[in-house]
Structure 1
Amino acid sequence: MLTKTLRQNLGPIPKDVSPALNLNGTFRGDHDLNPASAPLRDETYTPAAVLVPIVLRNEGMTMLLTRRAAHLAKHPGQISFPGGRAEEEDLSAVETALRESEEEISLNPDLVEIVGSLNTYITVTRYSVTPVVGFVQPSFSLRPEIGEVSEIFEVPLAFLLDEKNRKKHSGFHNGIERFWYAIPYNDYYIWGATAGMIKDLSERVLLE
């Protein structure tokens, strides 16, 4: 059963405000496909966390995703997990992920069972992101925070975990070719850090 496999193969539930400002342990990131941009362990990164919300629907599990508002200065219109920068009052990455999810999409934390984590993900914008995985009861009533989120939607988890649906795309930035993972789904283009975290999740399933 997939829920059992994930419980067994996910990383531990974060107990502190991890990720640390300085890198330690295992981490993934945009550099997976762009080795020249590999982060330095002695540099500092802004801690953040996202919730990787797996909805336990009877007809099949889904992943809850958001589309960022088009007017945002950073990553407008991109597909992402709910989450964001850690605040001083957050005692752990779990608190950050749940707080941000409630603020962004009105997801009640009581409906979320945190079951583990993925590898810390380092972005080119110098964020150190802890992906916190949670099983979500489908009895939610969601509402997007229009200042940050333009849309909330679900994608079948089986589709996202199937490696045949994951592509490697590329483009040029400042004359340098960069590569990223992408998972096109209907009119949605899931790519970058979000697709990279989903790849990490799919590898946990394959461990079984």
Structure 2
Amino acid sequence: MTDPLAPVLAALGRSGRPSSDFDLNPETILPEGRKLRQAGVLVAFDSSGPEPVLYLTQRSSNLRNHPGQIAFPGGKVDPGDGDPIHAALREAHEEIGLDRANVEVLGTFEPHETVTAFQVTPVLARIKSPFTPVPEPGEVAEVFTVPLSHISDPANFRVESRQWRGTRRRYFVVPYGPYYIWGATARILRSLADRMAP
């Protein structure tokens, strides 16, 4: 029987390269000696149903950073974490109630640099058995799933732009139903789609 996440495992076996929020804006000049804070996000798939799905969150509109945006569970590496994998697992437990014992880490992608000076490591994982998400009050407004088939198809991605700090900034989007998935989340998913392509 074929593993439903075989395309994801194949993507992890292919070489990739670091990505950033500046990929589509080559004219951006980044300051030398900039210090990036380490972070980890959990790209967690549930393959127990008829089709694998990816878990995403909508951040609370009350948050100071990225209010209302679609994001992976995750956050910055705290002193007790040790590495981005542990940070992603800890944050997923805090944000959506996903027990780390219910997670099989499959591997990581190259880090993604954000405009907010984070170096984010995507941690790809399988949720071992179905669970009921419990959004963390005050931080997560909603937890939802997106079919793997949607975010693995490059045709579902497009490039949009907006004014940001006096310049026109371009970025990927991959909308799904009422959810506007953009920015770093969409860029990481685009890296996955590119590496899953045969």
2:24: which partner in 1?
Answer: 33
Q: 1:110 aligns with which of 101, 104, 115?
A: 101
Give matches, 1:1-208, under 5 Å.
3-10=5-12, 26-37=17-28, 39=30, 42-206=33-197, 208=198
State how far apart, in whole Å, the 2-side matches of 1:84 and 1:135 are. 19
- The whole-number CA distance in structure 2 between the counterparts of 1:61 and 1:9 is 15
Instruction: Tell me, in whole angstroms, the C-alpha distance in 1 between the residues paired with 2:32 and 2:8.
Output: 29
Shift of 1:150: 0.4
Q: What SS does the aligned partner of 2:93 have?
A: helix
1:26 is displaced (CA, Å) by 4.1
The answer on whether the counterparts of 1:111 and 1:137 sit within 8 Å (CA) in structure 2 is yes
TM-score (norm 1): 0.87
Distance 1:193 1:113 in 2: 23
> What whole-Å deviation, never above 9, does each CA across 1:80-106 have from its counterpart, x for those lacking one?
000001000112211100000000111
**Structure 2 unaligned residues grouped into runs of 5+:** none
TM-score relative to the length of structure 2:
0.92
Mapped contact 1:9–1:205 kept (Cα < 8 A): yes
Moved more, 152-161 or 37-46: 37-46
Q: Whole-Å Cα distance in 1 between the matches of residues 29 and 101 of structure 2?
A: 38
Distance 2:32 2:167 in 1: 24
Q: Distance in 2 between matches of 1:172 and 1:95?
A: 35
3-state SS of 1:84 partner = strand
Residue 31 of structure 1 contacts residue 39 of structure 1 at CA under 8 Å; is this kept in 2? no
Tell me by how many angstroms 1:6 deviates.
Answer: 2.4
2:27 alignment partner, SS class: helix
CA distance in 2, matches of 1:128, 1:75: 16
Deviation at 1:11, TM superposition (A): 6.3
- Partner of 1:178, secondary structure, is strand
In the TM superposition, what is the alpha-carbon distance from 1:135 to its structure 2 partner? 0.8
When residues 47 and 89 of structure 1 are mapped into structure 2, their CA distance, relative to the original with a 3 A threshold, is same
- Structure 1 residue 58 displacement after superposition: 2.6
Instruction: Give the deviation of 1:36 after TM superposition.
Output: 2.7
Measured in 1, the distance between the counterparts of 2:29 and 2:132 equals: 40
Which amino acid letter does the alignment assign opposite residue 165 of structure 2? N
The SS at the match of 1:37 is: coil
What is the number of equivalent residue pairs in this alignment?
Answer: 195
**Residue 154 of structure 2 contacts residue 194 of structure 2 at CA under 8 Å; is this kept in 1?**
no
Coordinate RMSD, CA, aligned: 1.9
